[in-house]
Chains A and B, each alone.
Chain A
Amino acid sequence: MLEMHSVSKVYRTDTVETHALRDFSLQVEEGEFVAVTGPSGSGKTTFLNIAGLLEELSDGAYHLDGEEIGSLGDDARSRIRNEKIGFIFQSFNLIPDLDVFDNVDVPLRYRGFNAAERSRRIDESLERVGLTSRRRHLPSQLSGGQQQRVAIARALAGAPRFLLADEPTGNLDSEMAEAVLGLLNEINAAGTTIVMVTHDPDLARRVPRNVHVLDGRLQAPAQPEAPPIGAPNGLGAAAMSL
């Protein structure tokens, strides 16, 4: 699904050269749920940006779903982001002036679906995260957990095969974090590949596969110390209670 070989990312200014990623190689199989951990400044967000085609790599090779990414132009990268990748951000990144329905609609419009298809997908996504009744609420009228579920609904509406989560529980209290993680597990169980960036080792331990980044390099593979939480149905129920 995701293959990075000797990827490096260098940020340059007139006077400073920063190596955010060095000789970074990682392979994620279809259907995996991987937690990428590391301290602040370790390069995990840079990895997420490159994995999500938000930034270009400086060197190395990156294949996503069999497609070589390095040579693609901006439009093609946008298309892949829209069709194959779903994003979940730490601070939700909902558009404050749009209600829940319109927020989930944003990527679908860029996909070119007609109104009926978009509406069907939005309804399905909101039902999946348990927010059907909030479809005309503004983000400011929702709790943090609900906002993150809207963001997850937005990510799921395009039926991506690959979900990238950037500290998805970072702005949530423990109860809401638990529910969001449960929802992610449920989504993963349904077949979606997930890569989650987190600095929280406790959260990472509850994910089947961990990789650790330090100083822009991938460290030796680590195994989770605790099994992933609960069955999909139970997790879904937890998410509904947010």
Chain B
Amino acid sequence: MEFGPIWRAARRNKTGPVLIAVQIALTLAVVVNAVFIIQQRIEKITRDNGMDVDNILSVNSAVIGQDFKAELGVREDLRALRTIPGVIAVSASQHVPLSGSGWGTEFAASPESGAPRVNGVQYMMTTDAIQTLGVELVAGREFAEEDMVYAENFSDPQPSLIITQAYADELFPDGDALGQPLYDGLGRPSTIIGIVRRMHGAWVGWDKLSHVALLPRVMPSNSTHYLIRTEPGLVNQTLAQVEAALFGVNDQRVLQELRPMTETKDRSYQGDRGMAVLLGVVTLLMVSVTGVGIIGLASFAVRQRFKQIGTRRAVGARRRDILRYFLLENWMITTAGVVLGTLAALGINYWLMTAYDLERLDPLLLPVGILVIWALGLLAVAGPARRAAGISPAIATRTI
């Protein structure tokens, strides 16, 4: 192998190789961290939210008029929605999960004023909430009709609730949350009658996203959301029948935000998806520009050394010797870039960890990035190297 001569020659004519090595280093450093962020965003978007999002749709109904009785109106609407073919379960809710809109709350495990309070989000829903959301009940029971509170005032007591396992674990680190009372901001107790394995709340970027409380309660409001869970694959078909069902009950209302829950979720993760796409495009561009740079440098080197290659062939180099020379030269430049890039990638990750609370780089990502850059280098130089290997040794005797 011609490591020595290639290294010494590169040192004497270093502008091109240094620029490419720096470009490779930057590409590796940026791409590895970008891919890491993309990976995290994808994990965030695709993480288990505990609900049967694909088969749920939601609609907001705002009844016009002062004589609307929430209890009666909601009961009639629910009854009408249940008659739509393919509907499994229906529940009213004051907000739609994953929508970016919710009712923040905080509960404590003790009535004492100094007791630690844990943030979360609450959804006031009707019976069938568990079945409608498609969440898994791991302890206790679903709401029964006798649990329902049709509140006249915001301050009316709330005797029972269901919370998520994550919320229960935070409130009761020793376990055994079922049956325990929780105390809201006004010190009113609510007994935990059920625990669900997982459910995500309103704000997808919030670190308390999994702290959810479901309350069997209907507020005295003209505006209500309905969550409707259908047989698999029937969401769109059901969407078309919701308006008729609700207007059949009462046509003095405004229906809005009628949409599949997948759309609601997509809207909430739009920023994450946009960031992933943007970083993906940047990654592709950087990799492409680096690849083109390597091709350019190698092509220039071949053109510049046309006679030199002919001379090497004349004094005994086989085609594969020339091919190997260019591949080796490029590999050495790439490797120099990879070494620099590895340090830069770790440096950028450390900065992101300290400045933006990003996690430590996936230990597999850097080796994979290095292999990809090496492969890119070899791929990019393959064409020019093959052209070089095809140069005739007779070039050596040409005077120009």
Instruction: Establish whether residues A154 and B315, one from each chain, have CB atoms under 8 Å apart when the complex forms.
Output: yes
15 additional contacts (CB under 8 A) given A78-B321, A98-B8: A54-B313, A54-B393, A54-B394, A55-B392, A55-B394, A75-B319, A78-B313, A90-B397, A93-B314, A93-B396, A99-B8, A105-B5, A107-B316, A110-B318, A111-B316
Q: Closest residue to B308 on the A side, CB-wise?
A: A95
- The main secondary structure of chain B at its interface with chain A is helix
Number of A-B residue pairs, CB cutoff 8 Å, is 86
Within 8 A of A (CB), among B342-400: 392-394, 396-397, 399
**Nearest CB of chain A from residue B17's CB, rounded to whole Å:** 11
Q: Closest residue to B315 on the A side, CB-wise?
A: A107
Instruction: Establish whether residues A87 and B5, one from each chain, have CB atoms under 8 Å apart when the complex forms.
Output: no
Q: Closest residue to B2 on the A side, CB-wise?
A: A109
Total count of chain B residues near the partner, CB < 8 A? 25
Instruction: Establish whether residues A110 and B399, one from each chain, have CB atoms under 8 Å apart when the complex forms.
Output: no
Instruction: Establish whether residues B394 and A78, one from each chain, have CB atoms under 8 Å apart when the complex forms.
Output: no
Task: Give the contacting residue for B318; candidates A53, A74, A89, A106; CB below 8 A.
Answer: A74
Given contacts A55-B394, A102-B5, A105-B5, whether A97 and B316 have CB atoms under 8 Å apart is: no
Instruction: Establish whether residues A97 and B13, one from each chain, have CB atoms under 8 Å apart when the complex forms.
Output: yes
Contacts of B394 in A (CB 8 A): 49, 54-55
- Please, what's the 1-or-0 string for A171-208, where 1 marks a CB less than 8 Å from any CB in chain B? 00000000000000000000000000000000000000
CA distance A95 to B9 in the complex (A): 9
Q: Which 9 A-B pairs have the closest CB atoms?
A: A82-B316, A97-B9, A107-B315, A110-B316, A93-B311, A54-B394, A54-B393, A78-B318, A102-B5
Q: Closest residue to B10 on the A side, CB-wise?
A: A97
Contacts of B319 in A (CB 8 A): 74-75
CA distance A89 to B308 in the complex (A): 12
Q: Which residues of B contact A (CB under 8 A)?
A: 2, 4-5, 8-9, 12-13, 307-308, 311-319, 321, 392-394, 396-397, 399
Q: Closest residue to B11 on the A side, CB-wise?
A: A97
Contacts of B2 in A (CB 8 A): 109
Within 8 A of B (CB), among A151-167: 154-155, 158, 166
A79 interface residue per 8 A CB criterion? yes
Contacts of A78 in B (CB 8 A): 313, 316-318, 321, 393
Instruction: Establish whether residues A89 and B8, one from each chain, have CB atoms under 8 Å apart when the complex forms.
Output: no
Instruction: Establish whether residues B396 and A89, one from each chain, have CB atoms under 8 Å apart when the complex forms.
Output: yes
10 A-B pairs within 8 Å (CB atoms) are namely A49-B397, A54-B397, A75-B318, A78-B321, A82-B315, A89-B397, A102-B4, A102-B8, A102-B9, A110-B317
Contacts of A55 in B (CB 8 A): 392, 394
Task: Give the contacting residue for A81; candidates B4, B13, B315; CB below 8 A.
Answer: B315
Contacts of B396 in A (CB 8 A): 54, 87, 89, 93
- Please, what's the 1-or-0 string for A86-116, where 1 marks a CB less than 8 Å from any CB in chain B? 0101110101111100100111011100000
Task: Give the contacting residue for A83; candidates B4, B312, B316; CB below 8 A.
Answer: B316
